[in-house]
Structure 1
């Protein structure tokens, strides 16, 4: 007679299957979150940040124009104390405007290069997404089949077998 298999823990397979289902759901959720974060980042960079820096450049330009006008007024009035503070205000406004302009240009550059820089970094995630969407459901289905087969085998093995030589269900 063939040697019997010793099925010790179908529950361990069921637990593994359950863990695999949870892993699959969490991984899908995390990958979806990464994708949506990248979309939000692209929009933030392309629109919100850019428009924010454009507004700051406009405000800086107005402040510079105002500081220059106040400097001109101080020069016409001839007050030396006021003249020095106005010159410093103009320099401060120029530095602030240069900084805002530089940040606006950097933001535009980042927005232009976003896809070419981020896409290669996201490629492995696309591969993982394909595996999670394709391979994990197959693995879960395979584990389901294994559990059912082992349960059927274990039930068959537990049923009492008729003794050899005795007839079961003999004719009456």
Structure 2
């Protein structure tokens, strides 16, 4: 190595700087979208779905209680009357309540698994976010400074036109 930089084109560095700025902006928008989606999904699991199935569980429990009361009333009213419709209604209500319990258990597992799985990935996103917000602008500034220095250097060492060089020689 002879210690000299061999810059073929300042324009290429300027183009790279512009591309780097565009990339950083698109990457920041994409990260913001991903971060927002992670938060929305967590909120969906923690509130919307949990509240929906807790409400559904209460509604189905009331429905089961009503079906059981109807079966009990049918048993008391007449020993000979067919109670199969009430028994089927109770069985159906029990199945529906069990389904709601199962959904609540699944949501609880999903919330726990979501936090466990997403936490590691979120840390990686934070690292990338830090790079995009702190390191990338420093790189753009460094490229801008390099471009400016190279342009200054090119102006100082630019070959002069022959007429300008002859005028300088004639002035003693």
TM-score normalized by structure 1? Answer: 0.78
> What is the match of residue 149 of structure 2?
149
How has the CA–CA distance of structure 1 residues 14 and 23 changed in structure 2, closer, same or farther, with 3 Å as cutoff? same
Structure 1 position 72, deviation (Å): 2.7
Map of 2:63 onto structure 1: 63
- Alpha-carbon spacing, 1:167–1:19, altered in 2? closer, same or farther (3 Å): closer
Asked whether the equivalents of residues 7 and 154 of structure 1 are also in contact (C-alpha less than 8 Å), the reply is no
Deviation at 1:60, TM superposition (A): 0.4
Where in structure 1 are there 5+ consecutive unaligned residues? none
| 1:169 CA drift (Å) | 6.4
- Deviation larger for 54-63 or 104-113: 104-113
- Determine which of 75, 78, 81 is the counterpart of 1:79: 81
Give ranges in structure 2 of 5+ residues lacking alignment.
none
Alignment partner, residue 108 of structure 2? 108
Match of 1:160?
161
Could you state the TM-score of these two structures normalised by the residue count of structure 2?
0.78
Secondary structure in 2 matching 1:79: coil
SS at 2:153 equivalent: helix
Q: Using the alignment, how far apart are the partners of 2:57 and 2:72 within structure 1?
A: 22
CA drift of 1:93 comes to 1.0
Counterparts of 1:6 and 1:101, CA distance in 2: 71
Distance 1:139 1:94, change over 3 A: same
- Contact 1:71 1:87 (8 Å CA) reproduced: yes
The answer to whether residue 127 in structure 2 is matched with residue 127 in structure 1 is: yes
- Between the aligned partners of 2:155 and 2:123, the Cα distance in structure 1 is 47
Tell me, yes or no, if structure 1 residue 92 matches structure 2 residue 84: no
**What corresponds to 2:118 in structure 1?**
118
Kindly state the Cα deviation for residue 46 of structure 1 after the two structures are TM-superposed.
2.0
For residues 62-94 of structure 1, the C-alpha deviation after alignment (integer angstroms, 9 at most, x for no partner) is: 1111222222334334432xx223222211111
